[in-house]
Structure 1
Amino acid sequence: MSDTSKPWNSPMPEPQFDLMRRILSAPSPVGLEGAMTYGVLKPHFESFAPAEWKLQQFMGHAGVVLDTHPGRDDLFKVMIIGHADKIRMQVRSIGDDGKIWINTDAFLPNVLIGHEVTLFSEDPGAQGSYRRIDGGTVEALGAIHFSDPAQRSGEKGIKKEQIYLDLQIHGENKKQQVENLGVRPGDSIIFNRPIRHGFSPDTFYGAYLDNGLGCFVTAEVARLIAEAGGTEQVRVLFTIASYEEIGRFGSRVMAGEMRPDAIIAVDVNHDYVAAPGIGDRRMQPLEMGKGFTMSVGAIASEQLNRIIETTARVQDIPMQRDIVGPDTGTDGMAGVLAAVDCVATSIGFPIRNMHTISETGYTKDVLAAIHAITHTVQALDALPDPHREFRDNHPRLDQAGALEHQGSEKPETADK
């Protein structure tokens, strides 16, 4: 296979990068995911989806499902899931001095300091309408001059209760100035940092790769499947979930509603090689730039993984195996959490600095995931009977053959 037919070996085209940037930039904190699902992804889906495909919406959350064969419950149903919700900060209370005290959610307090954010507040005079406040920064200590010696030396950290949003309020009635803006406890705050190209080739960085990237991959798989003429035996549910960051609740509802036969979650993973201070944990050396990742362990189906791995090998798509233990940590758990009998796994891409303002990724890893999932869907569609394939072929370790010592010579294919 030539390099020209392997998009994962080439730089991401700029229009595709711009789509990725628009998806990741959509302000979609937990519970307010509509900016990404309805504002960016829904019109994108509608721009290429065949007329017979159907977009399904939900009442309790802003998730969406693009369904290739609506109503065809006889077909083998594959749900591909990315989650649109972003971790966020929230207004906790307003101080007399104009400080807006905030909850930090799933952020480390010390990664927040000094960064620009946007606060979203419902208009008290027009419920359902939201305003944005830009220009504020997250603070905790003020100047170094006001911190104690242990904080200056790094021996003492920052507590989450110390974090506040500074809107540069000054003058009289500082608290009233903030309240006059309509700011209320519970208002969402997110980083103001769109992704941009990185210094090293084919890299990018910014906020909220977790998990706009999974939504981008899901959308691109949908486009490629549509351009290839769709599927015959497989009903694909291209799913954009909500509430993942607070317990995988959105995907659980969707799995319960749609009852898929297979789930492929798409979410970010860690670059353990670059992660500081974890060398003694002996983590699997996942690394940015080495291809997509596939979960092994927990509820990950060995049969589904076998198809993905075989497909990646045949297509020469770089892949890394990720060891996940008892929980994938992704929407791959949606089926078991919803008590739905389905096979499942999780596909990802190693990134650095997760849950910070400078999450960093590699475009070719993302492209590898897109094309690996696309080819996997097509491989499932080519099976004589996808339902029986999984029902009849559970691995049998009691039939494992004995293995003898293989010597010390390095196989010729080891470095390929």
Structure 2
Amino acid sequence: MYDPLPFLKKILALPGLSGYEDPVRLAIAEEWGPFVDELKISRLGSLYGIRRGNSVEPRPRILLAAHMDAIGLMTTMVDHGLIHFTEVGGVDPRILPGQQVIVHGRRDLPGVIGQPAARLLPDSIGKKAVPMEYLLIDVGLSAEETAGLVRPGDLISFAQPPIELTDNSLAGHTLDNRASVAALSVCLSELSSMRHAWDVWAVATVQEEETLAGAFTSPVDIEPDIAVAIDVTFAKGPGASDYRTVPFGKGICLGWGPNTHPAIFEAFKKVAEHLDIPFQTEVSPSQSGTDAMGLQVAAGGLPSLYISIPIRYMHTPVEMVCMKDIQRAGHLLAQAAASLQPDFVQQIRWED
């Protein structure tokens, strides 16, 4: 059985901020290569891994999308050897002081995020969290050396290595959404030893954290019949235990809301129930906050679904995932894709 943990730890250690995904895309392509018939790169940088079905051409196509981009930081100014920065994607400044980072300047520079002493900050801040504009990155070089190596626009990624915890859990930055990329790898590995009627297009999309660019454009390239987005969602944990969160490690989530087509939901639900794959229904009364928002409305519109892997502490350097849920998501994707009959699309209606 394919073990996604080594691959996941590898891609968690790689940069690949939203709009700058090249480093992680190379690693994903290397991992997917043995499992697919063809690899392609879109004009915006999304990676396509294609497994061709065994039914008569023209075959229907299913698009399985997991965004590979990450949140992070970007240099805005270098002042007296200290680096000012802004966010790429949604970053909570409360979690930044004391974090280890890599500044991707003329060469990669390890650094730490420092916070000035309270007496040096405006009185209006008081005991509140220090805004990002007052935080600084120190790479330990002289002012002249730093100014020569770092410029505005240089990217900054989190640097903490992932930590294997007890009970099959992993903590680290960028599990949103590299956990789902690992689930897609599980899916492709499983499909490589199965017969399936449909062409399966696994897509590692770009820029979900900022523009949904990969989700909006990939369906135009691929022209799929249905699409599924794989992402993470909020697991129950400290301070997060109401109806908007789901149990941690107890199964994946099938999304139900405006980005979900009822017939696709029912098809995946039946497969999960048949195979005893633990799952929960995640209700989203508005937009899902995933690539499904773009996939659903691309071109003429697509019957879509989103599947989520619960994680704790989202958008922090210590996101936490249960590895069993990554396996479950990949297994469901593979089995559901393989179960699709050539005439499935002709049989679905919105009322289904």
- The alpha carbon displacement at 1:285 in A equals 4.5
Q: How does 1:264-275 map to 2 (within 5 A)?
A: 264-271=228-235, 273-275=236-238
- The alpha carbon displacement at 1:74 in A equals 2.5
Which of 21, 33, 38 does residue 9 from structure 2 map onto?
Answer: 21
Residue 159 (1) aligns with residue 131 (2): yes
Residue 45 (1) aligns with residue 32 (2): yes
> 8 Å contact 2:250–2:279 — kept in the other structure?
yes
- The alpha carbon displacement at 1:336 in A equals 3.2
**Any gaps of 5 or more consecutive residues in structure 1?**
1-6, 8-12, 124-130, 397-416
> 8 Å contact 2:65–2:291 — kept in the other structure?
yes
Aligned partner of 1:227: which letter? Answer: S
Residue 366 (1) aligns with residue 350 (2): no
Q: Secondary structure at the match of 1:66?
A: strand
Rounded to whole Å, the distance in 2 between the matches of 1:335 and 1:16 is 26
Question: Partner residue of 2:177?
Answer: 211
Rounded to whole Å, the distance in 2 between the matches of 1:338 and 1:133 is 40
> 8 Å contact 1:288–1:365 — kept in the other structure?
no
Q: Secondary structure at the match of 1:227?
A: coil
Question: Partner residue of 1:187?
Answer: 154
- The alpha carbon displacement at 1:42 in A equals 1.1
> 8 Å contact 2:259–2:304 — kept in the other structure?
yes
Question: Partner residue of 2:190?
Answer: 224
Rounded to whole Å, the distance in 2 between the matches of 1:24 and 1:82 is 15
Residue 315 (1) aligns with residue 275 (2): yes
> 8 Å contact 2:259–2:306 — kept in the other structure?
no
- The alpha carbon displacement at 1:388 in A equals 1.0
Rounded to whole Å, the distance in 1 between the matches of 2:223 and 2:318 is 37
Question: Partner residue of 2:18?
Answer: 30
Rounded to whole Å, the distance in 1 between the matches of 2:322 and 2:305 is 22
Residue 137 (1) aligns with residue 112 (2): yes
**CA shift in 2, pair 1:99/1:384, >3 Å:** closer
Total equivalences in the alignment: 349
**CA shift in 2, pair 1:260/1:99, >3 Å:** same
- The alpha carbon displacement at 1:319 in A equals 0.1
Question: Partner residue of 1:4?
Answer: none
Question: Partner residue of 1:92?
Answer: 76
Question: Partner residue of 1:255?
Answer: 219
- The alpha carbon displacement at 1:23 in A equals 2.3
TM-score normalised per structure 2: 0.92
Which of 33, 39, 44 does residue 55 from structure 1 map onto?
Answer: 39
Question: Partner residue of 2:346?
Answer: 388
Rounded to whole Å, the distance in 2 between the matches of 1:240 and 1:160 is 30
> 8 Å contact 1:48–1:223 — kept in the other structure?
yes
> 8 Å contact 1:82–1:265 — kept in the other structure?
yes
Q: How does 1:75-114 map to 2 (within 5 A)?
A: 75-95=59-79, 97-105=80-88, 106-114=90-98
- The alpha carbon displacement at 1:157 in A equals 2.1
Rounded to whole Å, the distance in 2 between the matches of 1:343 and 1:118 is 40
Rounded to whole Å, the distance in 1 between the matches of 2:342 and 2:52 is 19
**CA shift in 2, pair 1:55/1:384, >3 Å:** closer
Q: Secondary structure at the match of 1:327?
A: coil
**Any gaps of 5 or more consecutive residues in structure 2?**
none
Rounded to whole Å, the distance in 2 between the matches of 1:337 and 1:223 is 29
- The alpha carbon displacement at 1:167 in A equals 1.6
- The alpha carbon displacement at 1:160 in A equals 2.0
Rounded to whole Å, the distance in 1 between the matches of 2:38 and 2:160 is 33
Q: Secondary structure at the match of 2:192?
A: helix
Q: How does 1:230-379 map to 2 (within 5 A)?
A: 230-232=195-197, 234-271=198-235, 273-276=236-239, 282-379=242-339
- The alpha carbon displacement at 1:75 in A equals 1.7
- The alpha carbon displacement at 1:151 in A equals 5.8
Q: Between the two proteins, what is the percent identity of the paired residues? A: 21
Question: Partner residue of 2:99?
Answer: 115
**CA shift in 2, pair 1:395/1:94, >3 Å:** same
Rounded to whole Å, the distance in 1 between the matches of 2:67 and 2:245 is 25
- The alpha carbon displacement at 1:341 in A equals 2.9
Rounded to whole Å, the distance in 2 between the matches of 1:298 and 1:25 is 35
Rounded to whole Å, the distance in 2 between the matches of 1:149 and 1:342 is 53
**Over alpha carbons, which structure has the higher Rg?**
1
Q: Secondary structure at the match of 1:217?
A: helix
Q: Secondary structure at the match of 1:293?
A: strand
Rounded to whole Å, the distance in 2 between the matches of 1:252 and 1:140 is 39
Q: Secondary structure at the match of 1:374?
A: helix
Rounded to whole Å, the distance in 2 between the matches of 1:66 and 1:179 is 41
Question: Partner residue of 1:411?
Answer: none
- The alpha carbon displacement at 1:284 in A equals 4.1
Aligned partner of 2:351: which letter? Answer: P
Aligned partner of 2:65: which letter? Answer: I
